[in-house]
A and B are shown apart, each in its own frame.
Chain A
Amino acid sequence: MPHSTERKSADRTSVLAAGALSGKDAIACRGITKRFGTVVANDHIDLTVRYGEVLALLGENGSGKTTLMNMLSGIYHPDEGVILVDGQEAVINSPVDAMNMGIGMIYQHFRLVDVFSAMENIVLGTKEKRLRDKELKEKISEICQSFGLEIQPEKRVYEMSVSEKQTVEILKVLYRGTRILILDEPTAVLTPQETQKLFQILRKMKEQGCAIIIITHKLHEVLEISDRVTILRKGKSIDTVETAGTDEKILTELMVGKAVSLEIDRPPVNHKSPILKVVNLTVKKPDGTKAIDNISFEIRKGEILGVAGVAGSGQKELCEAIAGLMKIDKGAILYEQENIIGKTPAEIIRMGISMSFVPEDRLGMGLVASMDMVENMMLKSYGNGRGPFVDRKPARELANRLVEKLGIVTPGIDTPVRLLSGGNVQKVLLGREIESCPNLLITAYPVRGLDINSSYTIYDLLNEQKKKDVAVIFIGEDLDVLLELSDVIMVLCHGKITGFLDARKASKEQVGLYMTGAFSQEVAQ
């Protein structure tokens, strides 16, 4: 019999409980190919995940991980190749099909209804008759107990922390009887402590016989949680290795295709005088809540100030406040002893402050998606020169220079930037900002989702700026990098500064504790 979508959920739970399937193939992909136009996202990929194991899917950006997982969860349809679920050929036409086969996916960006409670989100979209709240709560707490999850079923999503939201997502798929769980970069938004908690849950699920695929960039997490690792490179499946017999170096080599040094340079800071001083800054969001709550800090020339914090702790608002894009409620921002509050963004740019924020969707506000590289180069400098006409020549030269210097892969500088891959888009953005010769460079998530090679190019660029006495505010998410690259680390939590740490001495766990607000230094300046 072909694999049908009418599989009975009763079978599934009993099978799960017995763990009888443990060790058998849950999903096997054979020669999966997917093209988007001329781009081959997946090129004859083979991948197998068994019940009772955690498979890590490792690969640089654009290596096709997410595309492959989207085919397993029914969002795309493969152009070639077959997917076997429980050893039988399956056609997954929609996420509903995937769900019926017991495949559940947890996306990087949560798909929850903010105004609904956890419980309502969990049952949302299920076809069965809605249970009464009491029964439902019991059912949920049963699942919670067996996998070691913690949740308040009545709590509304908008009141939840990122980690709680993720728990709801996990419960959502477990409630639907998922036996094969796919997680797309689940740790990107978590603190180290929350990550540990998530891994505990995953281990429990593994013990119960679930098959788990986890996509991540972070090698130490791969080593920690997975049993086997499948490595993708440029859309091809390169190798599958047992985690026990490998290390970060081997994995990096497989991923990048050549040996890479994982050391980050940290030149010393020579200056004493601050270039930027932020004093008692408070910024409110449009809804009236405080995004930045009375913070003070300073940064010296030639220094990299790392800003750590869980996503949404006020990083974006801080960037926008300094760049003059946000209304400031209280406090002062002194740049070379001059208060820049009230100046227009254009004036602030002219003073030599550059801000580049890389949001989740990569393009954000720094670049114009439909314009080509040349036109994007002149975004901040188009007004230079006299007369009503724009001068494209310098922009064209700059674009050519950047392509060469940063190794930007593009069909040509006249190609719209939306057609470039994420990493290249980021190089275009950061390259332009650096070429504007700023005195203060604010860069948020410049390596977001970048592969190892590109990330190191960017770290080198930042260090180069540092040596030129540029002050750099580096807002990052990877704590290992923050600790290796910055001179001082400032930790933000709910818009407040919870601590300043010397990056040469601090440990990751320390930073993590400050990030959750569990610890807080008395910051008096």
Chain B
Amino acid sequence: MNRNANIDSRKRTEPLLRVVKRAELTGRQIVLLRLLAVLLALAAGGLFILCLGYNPVAIYTRILSGATRSPMAIQATAKIVIPLLITSLGVTLAFKMRFWNIGAEGQIIMGAIFASYFALFHADWNHWVLLGAMALAGILGGALWGLVPAFFKARYGTNETLFTLMLNYIALYLISWLQDGPWRDPGSQGFGKIARFDKNASLNKVFGVHCGWIVALVLVAAVFIYLRYTKQGYEISVVGESQETARYAGMNVRKILLRTMALSGGICGLGGMIQAAGADITLTMGVAGGVGFTAIIVAWLSQLNPVIILAVSSLFGILEKGSSVVQSDFGLSTDCADVLQGIILFFILGCEFFIRYRFVGRGHGEKAK
């Protein structure tokens, strides 16, 4: 039998594609790969828009310009970005510890409820004292809602994913009860809603946007430093990697778990307070409005890096604001923005695979490097 026949047979039996581990890529190559993924996502999204019968270039440019064309547009975009940014920072702390906190939604709501108490019943306090009390109450509310699942996880090993998720609904319907019951606005003529906050209880505006943006930016820096340079931040990463190792190193895992979840929930709660007192000026059932879930996506897309979270949540804000402009200008539903978000997410997550592996086609093995 000659050698050529052998090679033929080999080609036939070799699998069409196989997965090969890549050399470690440099940081720059990884960034390029991710950018490529975003471009591909935009292309795929464009295809989707094309199928709907619109010009993708026009839509994309309108999204961008719609969100940034005027100071007013930018202010509106910022208003969307603030709660998302704060919440993403909050869940990042938990995720760094591999604690799957998908209860940010509930933590935001609890923060808003706690803060609203002061806004509704102590509106006569000095403005700054009142805001301080509301902020603290917001943090406390969120922290409490974060501590509950953490306590049960530390104590009985319960599943935090389900636990935090279920707490969302408890928080949500707590508002429903409050607005139909004890906190119902007497002036609403029987409507189940909570009264508008007194001006004294709402956040001041800076450059036309409520001052929550300053808090958000401070938090970006704080979370960045906390995770990277403090002892507690170091503890969080060790616990996240392996609780066994943390115990071995003499860390009190239970304490770290509780502390981190209190912080994570507290930040989300503060976000809730800011949303209620800054944007809504009242407490409604839409105070969280799905931000707690979008924040999970933002945090992961940003690889749990606070600085990248700032960029990614801004992009998400632009997409959301821009697509509402597109809706009024072109009649294209804002739901399409969600589809685009989904496509981007799909491509970015898919690209993680290509950072570590690559495909080798049949018969190309010997040339492979």
A388 touches B14 (CB 8 A): no
Q: Select B23's contact among A38, A89, A325, beta carbons within 8 Å.
A: A38
Q: State whether the Cβ of B231 lies closer than 8 Å to any Cβ in chain A.
A: yes
Q: State whether the Cβ of B232 lies closer than 8 Å to any Cβ in chain A.
A: yes
Stretch of A151-159, A217-225, A264-272, A363-371 that contacts chain B: A363-371
Per-residue B-contact encoding for A42-83, CB less than 8 Å = 1, 0 else: 000000000000000000000000000000000001111010
Per-residue A-contact encoding for B10-24, CB less than 8 Å = 1, 0 else: 100111001011111
Smallest CB-CB A-B distances: 8 pairs: A346-B250, A2-B9, A37-B23, A365-B244, A38-B23, A91-B13, A345-B250, A365-B248
B241 touches A368 (CB 8 A): yes
Chain A residue numbers with a CB within 8 Å of B21 are: 36-37
Chain A residue numbers with a CB within 8 Å of B369 are: 35
Q: A37-B24, A78-B365, A93-B13 are in contact. List 16 more A-B contacts (CB 8 A).
A: A2-B6, A77-B365, A89-B9, A93-B15, A345-B247, A348-B250, A365-B242, A365-B244, A368-B237, A370-B241, A379-B249, A380-B249, A383-B231, A390-B229, A390-B230, A390-B231
Closest to B232 in A: A388
Most chain A CB within 10 A, of B6, B14, B21, B248, is at B248
Q: State which residues 329-369 of B face A: CB under 8 Å.
A: 365-366, 368-369
Q: Select A369's contact among B24, B241, B248, B249, beta carbons within 8 Å.
A: B241
**What is the distance, in angstroms, from A373's C-beta to the closest C-beta of chain B?**
15
B252 touches A89 (CB 8 A): no
A325 touches B231 (CB 8 A): no
Closest to A94 in B: B15
Q: Select B238's contact among A36, A346, A348, A379, beta carbons within 8 Å.
A: A379
Decide: A389 near B250, CB < 8 A? Known: A1-B1, A80-B365: no
Q: State whether the Cβ of A323 lies closer than 8 Å to any Cβ in chain B.
A: yes
B250 touches A349 (CB 8 A): yes
Chain B residue numbers with a CB within 8 Å of A345 are: 247-250
Q: State whether the Cβ of B121 lies closer than 8 Å to any Cβ in chain A.
A: no
The docked-state distance in angstroms from the alpha carbon of A91 to that of B15 is 10
Q: What would be 27 A-B contacts, judged by CB atoms less than 8 Å apart?
A: A2-B6, A2-B9, A35-B369, A37-B21, A38-B24, A77-B14, A77-B365, A79-B20, A79-B365, A80-B365, A89-B10, A93-B14, A346-B250, A348-B250, A349-B250, A365-B242, A365-B244, A367-B245, A368-B245, A369-B241, A371-B237, A378-B234, A380-B249, A382-B249, A383-B250, A389-B229, A390-B231
Closest to B250 in A: A346
A79 touches B368 (CB 8 A): yes
The docked-state distance in angstroms from the alpha carbon of A355 to that of B242 is 17
The docked-state distance in angstroms from the alpha carbon of A344 to that of B246 is 12
Chain B residue numbers with a CB within 8 Å of A347 are: 250
Residue positions of B touching A, CB distance < 8 A: 1, 5-6, 9-10, 13-15, 18, 20-24, 229-235, 237-238, 241-242, 244-245, 247-252, 365-366, 368-369
**What is the distance, in angstroms, from B110's C-beta to the closest C-beta of chain A?**
27
Q: State which residues 319-345 of A face B: CB under 8 Å.
A: 323, 325, 344-345
B10 touches A91 (CB 8 A): yes
Closest to B368 in A: A79
The docked-state distance in angstroms from the alpha carbon of A79 to that of B14 is 12
The docked-state distance in angstroms from the alpha carbon of A37 to that of B355 is 12
Q: Select B230's contact among A77, A369, A371, A388, beta carbons within 8 Å.
A: A388
Chain A residue numbers with a CB within 8 Å of B365 are: 77-80
Chain B residue numbers with a CB within 8 Å of A364 are: 244
**What is the distance, in angstroms, from B197's C-beta to the closest C-beta of chain A?**
36
The docked-state distance in angstroms from the alpha carbon of A195 to that of B15 is 40
Per-residue B-contact encoding for A310-325, CB less than 8 Å = 1, 0 else: 0000000000000101
The docked-state distance in angstroms from the alpha carbon of A2 to that of B14 is 13
The docked-state distance in angstroms from the alpha carbon of A345 to that of B366 is 53
Per-residue B-contact encoding for A1-31, CB less than 8 Å = 1, 0 else: 1100000000000000000000000000000
Chain B residue numbers with a CB within 8 Å of A375 are: 234
**What is the distance, in angstroms, from A344's C-beta to the closest C-beta of chain B?**
7
Q: State whether the Cβ of A419 lies closer than 8 Å to any Cβ in chain B.
A: yes
Chain A residue numbers with a CB within 8 Å of B238 are: 368, 371, 379
The docked-state distance in angstroms from the alpha carbon of A371 to that of B241 is 9
A80 touches B231 (CB 8 A): no
B251 touches A346 (CB 8 A): yes
Decide: A389 near B231, CB < 8 A? Known: A37-B22, A38-B23, A77-B18: yes
**What is the distance, in angstroms, from B351's C-beta to the closest C-beta of chain A?**
18
The docked-state distance in angstroms from the alpha carbon of A37 to that of B24 is 7
Chain A residue numbers with a CB within 8 Å of B247 are: 325, 345, 365
Q: Select A2's contact among B5, B233, B235, B237, beta carbons within 8 Å.
A: B5
Closest to A419 in B: B24
A368 touches B250 (CB 8 A): no
Closest to A369 in B: B241
A344 touches B24 (CB 8 A): no
Closest to A355 in B: B248
Q: State which residues 349-389 of A face B: CB under 8 Å.
A: 349, 355, 364-371, 375, 378-380, 382-383, 388-389
Chain B residue numbers with a CB within 8 Å of A370 are: 241
The docked-state distance in angstroms from the alpha carbon of A346 to that of B247 is 9
Chain B residue numbers with a CB within 8 Å of A419 are: 24
Closest to A5 in B: B13
Closest to B356 in A: A37
A382 touches B234 (CB 8 A): yes
Closest to B241 in A: A368
A325 touches B248 (CB 8 A): yes
B24 touches A388 (CB 8 A): no
Chain B residue numbers with a CB within 8 Å of A378 are: 234
Q: Select A389's contact among B18, B230, B235, B366, beta carbons within 8 Å.
A: B230
Decide: A91 near B14, CB < 8 A? Known: A80-B365, A80-B366, A382-B234: yes
Chain B residue numbers with a CB within 8 Å of A380 are: 249-250
The docked-state distance in angstroms from the alpha carbon of A365 to that of B1 is 55
Closest to A345 in B: B250
The docked-state distance in angstroms from the alpha carbon of A371 to that of B248 is 16
Chain B residue numbers with a CB within 8 Å of A390 are: 229-231, 233-234
The docked-state distance in angstroms from the alpha carbon of A36 to that of B357 is 10
Most chain A CB within 10 A, of B14, B231, B250, is at B250
Decide: A79 near B231, CB < 8 A? Known: A369-B241, A379-B245: no
The docked-state distance in angstroms from the alpha carbon of A91 to that of B362 is 12
The docked-state distance in angstroms from the alpha carbon of A38 to that of B23 is 5
Chain B residue numbers with a CB within 8 Å of A82 are: 6
Chain A residue numbers with a CB within 8 Å of B231 are: 382-383, 388-390
Per-residue B-contact encoding for A434-470, CB less than 8 Å = 1, 0 else: 0000000000000000000000000000000000000
